Structure 1
Amino acid sequence: MGKALRWSEKWFHRGLWLVAFVFAWFLVGLGSTVVGDLPQVEQQRTLDDFLDPQRAPQVRQSIEAAQRAAREAQDALDQAQLRHQAAQANHRAARDTFGNWLNTRQATQRPEQDPELIERTRQLDSYRQTERDALAAVEVQQQAELNARQAQQRAQDELHQMQEDARQSFESAVRAQELRVFLYRLALTLPLLVAAGWLFAKQRKSTYWPFVWGFIFFALFAFFVELVPYLPSYGGYVRYLVGIVLTVIGGRYAIQALQRYLERQQQTEALPDRQRRQELDYDLAQTRLAKGVCPGCERVLDLKDPKNDFCPHCGMGLHNRCGACQTRKSAFARYCHSCGDPAARTVAPDAPAV
């Protein structure tokens, strides 16, 4: 309505737009929650769901058993290596002691020490045997650890092969699930868009227009913003196709509306000047005059020209004179701006020659 509206009416109008945006904001929040929770209607599938239900648990148990055996073998290997190191140290110390004693024995050449030589040799052989036994234990644990790691690797390779074999079925199921969820969302948002189009065409100027516009904003946001992050790779086609359809529908509506408007204008311009001014809405006329256009045909006029009493395009009267004070005033004013006399006593100027 622009400048033609009363000051309080302007603020009421702005307040109603605020109501529309607040209403849309709450609807958008609710819609976002619903759209985000829609995947919960589908059971989340994993790759394990497509593995052999009998063989897969056995392979996993084999992996766990091999891992446990490898840990146990490693612990035993650590202990065996410590024992082997101790045996090596004992053998080394005994060999050094025997070498020193043997050197002393050769220097003194005392025959009575021959039994001791035999005993020391026997002890040295015992230390050497202990070291060999410890080394054998180390080798046994190394072999056990190697066997466990190889068994674990074989089981993991088998599980990996099973997963690769099941991956194609898993990916197909995931794509099908994404498509179903997308269709759920589309089935929710597309009717909202259709309802918003109907409200725009039929109810946008009704008494409760703030709620109508709030719902329209919500439907547009839900379809073109909320739905976009959840579109599958092929979902862009849906968005563009719907956009094309809406553009065609909107363009067709606009073309038909323009044709109807031009027909109404032609019919209106054929009516007498007084009837045309009486049927024209007061606020609409004031708004058009404020924009510098004719209230009847909406063509541009020079309203500051004092001789411009009639529209040169459609012949509608723009100015007349007050019946009380003869002041030139707007033909659409309800009261004279000079004396306040009602417009009913207005004296119309001579009509332009046809």
Structure 2
Amino acid sequence: MANGTRVSERWFNAALWLVALLFAGFLIGLGSLVVGDLPQVEHRYTVEQFLDREPARASDAALKKVRREQDDARRQAEAAQLALDAARSATEAARETFANWLKTRNATQRVDQDPGLVARTEGLDQLKAAERTVEERLEQLNRTAFDLGERESALEAADTGLRAEAQAKLDAAERGQELRVFGYRLALTLPLLLLAGWLLMRRRNTRNWPFVWGFALAAAFAFFVELVPYLPSYGGYVQYGVGAVLTLVGGRAAINALHAYRERQALVEARPDAERRTEIATDEALARLARKVCPGCERGIALDDPATNFCPHCGLGVFERCPACAQRKSTFERFCRGCGERRPITATAA
């Protein structure tokens, strides 16, 4: 059966759906800005806010002092190393000069050079002693650097412990903040979703239905897109738990709705045929007939069979003979296709 809606009405309906989508788009943009700015009501936490101030200050001061001493010891060790390299070079040069002098003395066998031998030997011993003094100084500086390194490691371990405790407190505070921000979002989006549901149930068939549907789309987007991704995780327990609860509630609502629908349909199907037809809108009835289902119970019927005048499931009359020309016509059509006779008022649809 052809749909009874006028072509111009279809275009108007399409334009109104466009209005609904545009209205929803602007509301979604506005809602996204509001939901995105909600975290700004909370201040950002840092680890330093949760540190035990006195121990942390003492640990930081001790670490700075140790590192300054390490820098001083490192500079002194570098200077001592340069001095040691110079002393070793001087000793090596003196040793080579002494060896050459010994070769000359052995070649000439001059006894008068014995005092020079003693003096050169004493000078070489003094250079070696100076070299050893620098080596001892360098060893002392290395021991000091090692001790400072041990102290630094101990202080860093203590500081790491303090920061680990502060990090645990920070994580707890951020979890609480995350839950509060989620509460803000929920307090904003849940009333919108409930209002949208009420509007769809009560106002979707009014003349302002484009705004009702636009508001409903925006509320659904705000709840399921702007809110659900920010659901606190806590290892997935909250998300899966909330999902299970929502599924249980939604499933129970669907089951109850199905049983209520069946009960209503049973009550409707028990009423007289003519009374039932008056409660079904003409356009809705013709659209269902076009899908080859009964306008009353929405079960499939064989509309192609000329002998089918009543629904075999609920007994609703779907075809009749025109009282003027006896042509077979739908009981929901206002006028006969054969002669144009208007349907009696008692059979008109609401």
1:267 corresponding residue in structure 2: 271
Kindly state the Cα deviation for residue 280 of structure 1 after the two structures are TM-superposed.
4.4
1:128 corresponding residue in structure 2: 128
- TM-score, L = length of structure 1: 0.79
* Contact 2:42–2:177, Cα closer than 8 Å, also in 1: yes
Say if 1:205 and 1:72 are closer, same or farther in 2 by CA, change over 3 A: farther
CA distance in 2, matches of 1:345, 1:17: 33
1:318 corresponding residue in structure 2: 319
Amino acid aligned to 2:39: P
Amino acid aligned to 1:344: R
Matches within 5 A, 1:310-349: 314=315, 316=317, 318-321=319-322, 323=324, 328-338=328-338, 341-344=339-342
1:351 corresponding residue in structure 2: none
Kindly state the Cα deviation for residue 84 of structure 1 after the two structures are TM-superposed.
0.8
Say if 1:72 and 1:33 are closer, same or farther in 2 by CA, change over 3 A: farther
Kindly state the Cα deviation for residue 129 of structure 1 after the two structures are TM-superposed.
3.1
Say if 1:311 and 1:248 are closer, same or farther in 2 by CA, change over 3 A: closer
* Contact 1:203–1:209, Cα closer than 8 Å, also in 2: yes
Kindly state the Cα deviation for residue 253 of structure 1 after the two structures are TM-superposed.
4.1
Root-mean-square deviation (CA, aligned residues, Å) is 3.3
Instruction: Deviation per CA, 1:67-94: give whole Å up to 9, x if none.
Output: 2332332233223212211211110121
Matches within 5 A, 1:1-354: 3-232=3-232, 233=234, 234-236=237-239, 237-269=241-273, 271=275, 280-296=280-296, 298-308=298-308, 314=315, 316=317, 318-321=319-322, 323=324, 328-338=328-338, 341-344=339-342
Kindly state the Cα deviation for residue 123 of structure 1 after the two structures are TM-superposed.
2.8
Instruction: Deviation per CA, 1:193-237: give whole Å up to 9, x if none.
Output: 322322232122222223323333333343344333322324323
Say if 1:75 and 1:316 are closer, same or farther in 2 by CA, change over 3 A: same
Q: Which moved more, 1:243-252 or 1:52-61?
A: 243-252
Kindly state the Cα deviation for residue 156 of structure 1 after the two structures are TM-superposed.
0.9
Kindly state the Cα deviation for residue 250 of structure 1 after the two structures are TM-superposed.
4.7
Instruction: Deviation per CA, 1:104-157: give whole Å up to 9, x if none.
Output: 213322123234323323332332233223323322432342233233222212
Give unpaired runs (5+ residues) of structure 1: 347-354
* Contact 1:296–1:316, Cα closer than 8 Å, also in 2: no
Say if 1:238 and 1:309 are closer, same or farther in 2 by CA, change over 3 A: closer
* Contact 2:336–2:343, Cα closer than 8 Å, also in 1: no
Kindly state the Cα deviation for residue 309 of structure 1 after the two structures are TM-superposed.
5.0
CA distance in 2, matches of 1:345, 1:179: 63
Sequence identity percentage: 42
* Contact 1:318–1:331, Cα closer than 8 Å, also in 2: yes
Say if 1:21 and 1:265 are closer, same or farther in 2 by CA, change over 3 A: farther
Say if 1:76 and 1:197 are closer, same or farther in 2 by CA, change over 3 A: same
Q: Which moved more, 1:249-258 or 1:137-146?
A: 249-258
Say if 1:263 and 1:36 are closer, same or farther in 2 by CA, change over 3 A: same
What SS does the aligned partner of 2:100 have? helix
What SS does the aligned partner of 1:267 have? coil
* Contact 2:334–2:343, Cα closer than 8 Å, also in 1: no
In the alignment of these two chains, the number of paired residues is 339
- TM-score, L = length of structure 2: 0.80
Kindly state the Cα deviation for residue 16 of structure 1 after the two structures are TM-superposed.
3.3
Say if 1:335 and 1:243 are closer, same or farther in 2 by CA, change over 3 A: same
Amino acid aligned to 1:318: F
CA distance in 1, matches of 2:2, 2:80: 96
CA distance in 1, matches of 2:46, 2:294: 70
CA distance in 2, matches of 1:126, 1:216: 99
What SS does the aligned partner of 2:53 have? coil
Say if 1:215 and 1:246 are closer, same or farther in 2 by CA, change over 3 A: farther
CA distance in 2, matches of 1:2, 1:113: 138
Say if 1:297 and 1:251 are closer, same or farther in 2 by CA, change over 3 A: closer
Say if 1:107 and 1:314 are closer, same or farther in 2 by CA, change over 3 A: same
CA distance in 1, matches of 2:293, 2:306: 16
* Contact 1:322–1:345, Cα closer than 8 Å, also in 2: no
* Contact 1:193–1:223, Cα closer than 8 Å, also in 2: yes
Instruction: Deviation per CA, 1:293-341: give whole Å up to 9, x if none.
Output: 4445555443334444565653636243484x66554444444545xx5
Say if 1:173 and 1:107 are closer, same or farther in 2 by CA, change over 3 A: same
